[in-house]
Structure 1
Amino acid sequence: MAGNSQRRNRRTSNKKGMQVGSGGHRRKALEGKGPTPPAAARKGHQKNRVAAAKARHEAKRPAPRRGGPKGTNELVVGRNPVAEALREGVPANTLYVQQYIDSDERVRAAIQLATERGMNLMEAPRPELDRMTGGLNHQGVVLQVPPYDYAHPDDLTAAAFDAGEDPLIVVLDGITDPRNLGAIVRSVSAFGGHGVVVPERRAAGMTAGAWKTSAGTAARTPVARAANMTRVLEAYQKAGLTVVGLAGEGETELGDVQAFDGPVAIVIGSEGKGLSRLVGETCDLRARIPMPGGAESLNAGVAAGVVLYEAARQRA
Structure 2
Amino acid sequence: PGQKGGSRPPIRAKRAPDRGLGGTQVEGRHAVRELLLAGQRRVSEVLISAEMDQADIIDDIVELARDLKVPIREIPRRRFDSEAKTESSQGVLARAAELKEKTLFELCSTAPSAGQAPFLLAVDGVTDPGNLGALIRTAECAGVTGLVLPRHRAVHVTPTVTKTAAGAVEHVPMALVGGLPSAIEAMKAEGVWVVGLDAGGEQSLHDMTLGAEPVCFVLGAEGAGLSRLVRQRCDAVVSIPLRGALSSLNVATAGALAIYEVVRRRSMHP
TM-score of the two chains, using structure 1 as the length reference: 0.63
Counterpart check, 1:308 vs 2:256: no
Larger radius of gyration: 1
Change (3 A) 1:215 1:309: same
4+ residue segments displaced more than 4 Å: 81-85, 106-111, 121-124, 139-142, 161-164
The equivalent residue for 2:44 is: 94
The equivalent residue for 2:201 is: 250
SS in 2 for 1:268: strand
Equivalent positions of 1:90-239 (< 5 A) are 93-95=43-45, 103-105=50-52, 112=62, 114-121=65-72, 137-138=82-83, 143-160=94-111, 164-239=115-190
Structure 1 residue 203 displacement after superposition: 1.1
CA distance in 1, matches of 2:93, 2:256: 33
SS in 2 for 1:225: strand
Corresponding letter in the other structure for 1:303? A
The answer for unaligned runs of 5 or more in structure 1 is 1-67, 125-129
Change (3 A) 1:71 1:307: closer
Q: Deviations over 1:54-92 (max 9, x none)?
A: xxxxxxxxxxxxxx932878446xxxx566653453767
Change (3 A) 1:295 1:141: closer
SS in 2 for 1:115: helix
Change (3 A) 1:177 1:145: farther
Q: Deviations over 1:15-40 (max 9, x none)?
A: xxxxxxxxxxxxxxxxxxxxxxxxxx
Change (3 A) 1:186 1:97: closer
The equivalent residue for 1:33 is: none
Structure 1 residue 116 displacement after superposition: 4.6
Corresponding letter in the other structure for 2:207? D
Corresponding letter in the other structure for 1:118? K
The one of the two structures with greater contact order (alpha-carbon pairs below 8 A, sep at least 6) is: 2
Corresponding letter in the other structure for 2:52? E
Structure 1 residue 235 displacement after superposition: 0.9
Structure 1 residue 260 displacement after superposition: 5.0
Structure 1 residue 215 displacement after superposition: 2.6
The equivalent residue for 1:44 is: none
The equivalent residue for 1:8 is: none
Structure 1 residue 155 displacement after superposition: 0.8
TM-score of the two chains, using structure 2 as the length reference: 0.72
Identical aligned residues as a percent: 31
Change (3 A) 1:88 1:224: same
CA distance in 2, matches of 1:312, 1:207: 28
Answer yes or no: is the 8 Å Cα contact 1:95–1:141 preserved in 2. Answer: no
Question: How many residues of Structure 1 are paired with residues of Structure 2 in the alignment?
Answer: 235
Change (3 A) 1:86 1:71: closer
CA distance in 2, matches of 1:149, 1:71: 7
CA distance in 2, matches of 1:295, 1:168: 30
Corresponding letter in the other structure for 1:249? G
The answer for unaligned runs of 5 or more in structure 2 is 1-17, 85-90
Structure 1 residue 303 displacement after superposition: 0.7
Corresponding letter in the other structure for 1:138? E
Counterpart check, 1:266 vs 2:217: yes
Counterpart check, 1:283 vs 2:234: yes
Change (3 A) 1:180 1:142: closer
Answer yes or no: is the 8 Å Cα contact 1:75–1:143 preserved in 2. Answer: yes
Corresponding letter in the other structure for 1:112? V
Structure 1 residue 298 displacement after superposition: 1.0
